[in-house]
Amino acid sequence: MGFVTLMSSTFGRWARIVVGLVLAIAALTWGPVGAIFFLLGVVLISVGASDTCLLAPLFGRGMNGNESRRS
């Protein structure tokens, strides 16, 4: 369960936000195929900022970061 613990921590949240920003900015230079990566970057920024872990239910935890940290 270390992955979900890492992703629901403060470091994991900031890592998703930073990776999302880098991906979104880089995707702007990649032409039409960059649109997919831009959307992926926006999703990573959104879930990081809202303290949501989309993969947590696969490991039997709640999507909300607070729920994941308590489990």
The tokens of 20 are what?
């999302």
pTM, entire model? 0.81
Name the E strands within 1-71.
none
The alpha-helical segments, DSSP class H, found in the chain are 2-8, 10-27, 34-49, 65-70
Per-residue confidence (pLDDT) for residue 1, from 0 to 100:
57
For residues 22 and 32, give the distance between their C-alpha atoms in angstroms, rounded to a whole number.
Answer: 17
pLDDT tens per residue across span 2-19: 877 788 788 888 999 999
